[in-house]
Amino acid sequence: MMALEAEVHWQQGPAGVPEPLSFRIAGIERSVAEVLDRWPGSDIGYVKIRGEDDDLYILRYEDAGKRWSIIFYQSDEPLPEGIAGVKPRFV
């Protein structure tokens, strides 16, 4: 699975699960418009969101929200220039 590390501003959500408010990748900041789904786990969890850009993202968090990555991105538009040049890391 490929993932891009992301800087995420978050708060404690339902049942203490991290809930993202905004995220930054390759210097591009996006606000979270809506949390669509959550898959919490003891060590690793996932959150499906719709960004302010109306694109879909699945974010993965580890260590109770200390490490975040984007593992899925869906858009009708091409990747933004700043993101397109980022090399993914494998997790």
Sketch the domain layout of the chain as residue ranges.
2-82
Structure tokens at 16: 């203490």
| pLDDT in single tens digits along all 91 residues of the chain | 467 889 999 998 878 889 999 999 878 899 999 999 999 888 899 999 999 999 999 999 998 778 999 998 888 876 666 565 544 443 3
pTM: 0.80
Residues 6+ apart with CB under 8 A from 80: 26, 28
